[in-house]
Amino acid sequence: MSKIRSAKRVSSFADSVFGEMTRLAKLHNAVNLSQGFPDFEAPQAIKDAACTAIQAEQNQYAPPYGTAAFRDAIAQDFTRRYGVPVDPDEQVTVCCGSTEAMMASMLACVDPGDEVIVFEPFYENYGPDAILAGAEPKYVRMREPEWRFDPDELKKAFSNRTRAIVINSPNNPTGKVFTVKELMLIAELCQKWDVLAISDEIYERIVFNGHAHVPMASIPGMADRTITIGGLSKTYSVTGWRIGWAITPASLTGGIRKLHDYLTVAAPTPFHDAGVSALSLPDGFYSQLTADYQRKRDLMLDILGRHGFTAYVPGGAYYVMADVSRFGFSSDSEFAQYLVKEIGVATVPGSSFYIDPSAAPQSVRFCFSKLDDTLYEADKRLARLSVISG
């Protein structure tokens, strides 16, 4: 066999279904509700800050772990809102998106042969992140309609081999916001089995009425065993800037910084200043953000309800999962293909968020981080579905 071939470590990874759905959306001129990014503008103040930084010649490598001003802003913001002390010099590392923060954390804190617990349905990167670290992902199912997990299944997933557990709240794809009771159980198990929590809190600012975001690091006994991952992408509608961060126990920071340095050197320089500007936006920005997203969520739920979907109401983030079994397709992938090609709406098949798609419920994920007009257009197109399916 030729040695000019892909390495074994990538052979188990599937091609991204998001890329494929976006390709099909373009081909069929469909409304794209598949990928998780907004089609509306980012706040003017932070765009101005980025342009000013570029014009002021902040165009060479940034300090690898983030500028002091940006790390200070990240630490202060976390402490102010959640009451958890954070030392910007010892505990904050700015990365190329939360994607890199997660990968650097996993590579720096997990050894080959360890196990990493991941809730399913999951954001697509967690399994590959664990596998690239040489670890084995162990999946614990969350079940619709409220996406609760079975505490006994979770307890059984922990063992002496467990090194870390990945939590993502508010959750992609389900919109679940973990309750304090659930976080307390996870915390108790982490402490019992001496396990690290890697908490992806990228949607922390998008939480709807009746729910509250509680960071894992704020649960008693967890600050010293939690890596909190955050970023600018979702809150400030700048997914292309690639700015995220890891807030880590001081004992783990050195390893993560080394990994980050070798992986990417530093995150893009002009966006450190823009990040400071973002984190200094007034509280009104965030209340408006939540109100806007809550309205979009309700619009999306209304559209789905009128066109025959059983949607699971999200408590946070900007996705809705909806059951599609009643449409009579053999799988949700087949339904999603039909939807993009014949109806003109691109979604993501829910089964792609499960390790074994054949054992997943039939659902699709709709992203509602879109202009109202985009959602109205989806509404018009989905109306044809109700006619076709009766």
Residues that bind ligand PLP (CB under 6 A): 36, 97-99, 123, 168, 172, 200, 202, 231, 233, 239, 244
Report, in Å, the least distance between residue 173 CB and ligand PLP: 8
As measured in angstroms, the least distance from the Cβ of 17 to ligand PLP is: 13
140-176 exposure pattern, b = at least 16 Cβ within 10 A, e = fewer: bbbebeebebeeeebeebbeeebbbbbbbbbbbbbbb
Maximal C-alpha separation, the chain: 61
Report, in Å, the least distance between residue 313 CB and ligand PLP. 18
- Of 244 and 344, which has the nearer Cβ to ligand PLP? 244
- Nearer Cβ to ligand PLP (344/363): 363
Contact 227, 247 (CB under 8 A): yes
Q: What's the burial of 12, exposed, middle or buried (CB within 10 Å: 0-12/13-18/19+)?
A: exposed
Judged by beta carbon, residue 196 or residue 382, the one nearer ligand PLP is 196
Q: Which is nearer to ligand PLP, 244 or 349 (CB)?
A: 244
CB of 137 vs ligand PLP, minimal distance in Å: 15
**Least distance between ligand PLP and beta carbon 5 (Å):** 29
Alpha carbons 23 and 195: distance in angstroms, whole number? 40
Report how far residue 268's alpha carbon sits from residue 246's, in angstroms, rounded to the nearest whole number: 16
Determine how many CB atoms are found less than 10 A away from the CB of residue 355.
15
Residue whose CB is less far from ligand PLP, 142 or 382: 142
Q: How far is the CB of 140 from ligand PLP (least distance, A)?
A: 16
Separation of alpha carbons 163 and 155, rounded Å: 14
Q: Residue 123 or 309: which CB sits closer to ligand PLP?
A: 123
In three-state secondary structure terms, 359 is: helix
Residue 315 corresponds to which amino acid?
Answer: G
Question: Shortest distance, CB of residue 276 to ligand PLP, whole angstroms?
Answer: 17
Q: CB-wise, 40 or 192, nearer to ligand PLP?
A: 40
Q: What 3-state class would DSSP assign to 356?
A: coil
Pinpoint the alpha helices (H) of 83-212.
Answer: 88-91, 97-109, 126-132, 151-157, 180-193
